């Protein structure tokens, strides 16, 4: 399966496929990837919120800076 941006009639992106199941598999893999990323971020936020209630201020700031650094990099 190839992703192509070349179109002679319009500027839309489209998939070059040889089989209908290939398109379905691509969408299933994309939805699996997106759902796993969203779930990971959600669980990480919930874990941080759970821990932040019991931390001292300097520990909270330190943990928050680590999480922001990991997220950005």
In this structure, are residues 16 and 2 in contact, taking their beta carbons and an 8 Å threshold? yes
Q: Is the pLDDT of residue 2 over 60?
A: no
pLDDT of residue 57: 93
The pLDDT of 22-42, averaged and rounded, is 91
User: What is the residue extent of each domain of the chain?
Assistant: 2-72
| pTM score, whole prediction | 0.60
* Higher local confidence (pLDDT), 15 or 50: 50
| SS3 annotation, the chain | CEEECCCCCCCCCEEECCCHHHHHHHHHHHHHHHHHHHHHHHHHHHHHHHHHCCCCHHHHHHHHHHHHHHHHC
Q: What confidence tens digit (pLDDT) does each residue in 42-68 have?
A: 998 899 899 888 989 999 999 889 988
* Higher local confidence (pLDDT), 41 or 1: 41
């Amino acid at each position: 399966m190839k992703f192509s941006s070349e179109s002679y009639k319009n500027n839309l992106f489209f998939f070059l496929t040889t089989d209908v199941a290939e398109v379905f598999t691509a969408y299933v893999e994309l939805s699996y990837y997106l759902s796993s990323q969203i779930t990971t971020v959600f669980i990480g936020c919930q874990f941080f919120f759970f821990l932040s209630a019991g931390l001292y201020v300097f520990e909270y700031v330190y943990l928050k800076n680590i999480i922001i650094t990991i997220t950005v990099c």
